[in-house]
Structure 1
Amino acid sequence: MFNTFLRENKVVAALLAVLRVYLGYAWFTAGLGKIQSGAFDASGFIQGAIANPVKGPDGGVVYAWYVDFLQSVALPNIDLFNVLVPWGELLVGLGLMLGCLTTAAMFFGLVMNFAFFFAGTVSHNPTDILFGFILLAAGANAGKYGLDHYVLPYINKAIFKKVQTQN
């Protein structure tokens, strides 16, 4: 019942648009600032997350698999991550502000939020994750008053046409 309300109500779509633009602006400005400065380097952050991982009450590392990922994948490929992080933030923000591929943008925004969380950074991530899951659960209704209104029918038509020709 609530899910139907969240996914189909026009008033909710308008409220989701406000929420979407708010989150999008935060993501966009974070990414743009990093790109414009030209000096973004995640290596210090990643080294700090490796050296000081999130620990549980027993003193054990909570996300050991994530620390392994940072050590074996992220740090050796830091040049790639130095591009992916700011451009990812910028594109997530742009997608959310414009309401274009909203659910995809929010999914990748949540992936980044959780990556920061696993590294031990709390900041505004819990709020962003809460709002992000609301937008993700709303599906296409979150982008109803945005470019998704025009883009999604085109994508659905193209996919439906492809499925029909395969059968």
Structure 2
Amino acid sequence: MIGKLLRENNIVAGALTLVRIYLGWHWMTAGWGKLTEGFDAAGFLKGAVANPVVSHDVLAYPGWVSFLESFAVPNAGLFSTLIPLGEFLVGLGLILGCLTTAAAFFAMVMNFSFMFSGTISSNPMDILMGVFIAAAGYNAGKFGLDRYVLPYLRKLVFKGKSHEGSSVTN
């Protein structure tokens, strides 16, 4: 019932437009600041390894710390590029309503990554907004570029095929 409301109601689509523009602005400005002022992820990554999230004296996310230590820290330069670019593009996608569901998904991935690394900030609220946007699917981007982009992509992907995926005969 709630899924149908999220996915089909025009009033919900309007409300989600406001939510995604707000969330998009939050992401885009964070990314833009890092892109224009320079950003070095090395300090953050090293700090996340040195001060991991602990619960009752037990490492809460040992797999995440291992990933940071063995891959992210040695490749801090790559992350210094991917983080601001990802933040900016997610924000732009949400603001424009273009590939909205994918933008919400990647926003949540980044939020969870930041939380696993020990940063709380606005991440839980951002994740909650992202869940509603992603659950709404097309309806969240209905009043945005998804109205035009998704039918075009669908046509491009299913060119010469019926909706069931089988080839159409002429």
TM-score range, shorter chain: over 0.9
Unaligned runs of at least 5 residues, structure 1: none
Aligned residue runs from structure 1 range 98-113, under 5 A: 98-113=96-111
Q: What letter corresponds to residue 22 of structure 2 in structure 1?
A: Y
Aligned to 1:15: 15
Give the percent of matched residue pairs that are identical in Structure 1 and Structure 2.
Answer: 56
Considering only aligned residues, what root-mean-square deviation do their CA atoms show, in Å?
Answer: 1.2
Aligned to 1:5: 5
The 3-state SS of whatever aligns with 1:111 is helix
CA shift at 1:163, angstroms? 4.2
- For normalisation by structure 2, the TM-score amounts to 0.94
> 2:45·2:76 contact (CA, 8 Å) conserved in 1?
no
- The count of residues paired between Structure 1 and Structure 2 equals 165
2:76 to 70, 75, 78: 78
Q: What letter corresponds to residue 16 of structure 1 in structure 2?
A: L
Aligned to 1:161: 159
Distance in 2 between residues matched to 1:140 and 1:79, nearest whole Å: 35
1:90 pairs with 2:88? yes
Q: 1:162 to 1:84 in 2, by over 3 A?
A: farther
- For normalisation by structure 1, the TM-score amounts to 0.95
Q: What letter corresponds to residue 10 of structure 1 in structure 2?
A: N
Distance in 2 between residues matched to 1:91 and 1:162, nearest whole Å: 31
The 3-state SS of whatever aligns with 1:161 is coil
Q: What letter corresponds to residue 85 of structure 1 in structure 2?
A: I
Name the one with the larger helix percent: 1
Unaligned runs of at least 5 residues, structure 2: none
> 2:94·2:104 contact (CA, 8 Å) conserved in 1?
yes
Residues 19-62 of structure 1 deviation map (CA, whole Å, 9 limit, x = unaligned) = 00000000000000001102x111111111101100112x0101
Q: What letter corresponds to residue 7 of structure 1 in structure 2?
A: R
Distance in 2 between residues matched to 1:67 and 1:166, nearest whole Å: 45
Residues 50-92 of structure 1 deviation map (CA, whole Å, 9 limit, x = unaligned) = 01100112x0101000000001110111111000000000000
Q: Name segments (4+ residues, structure 1) moved above 4 Å.
A: 162-166
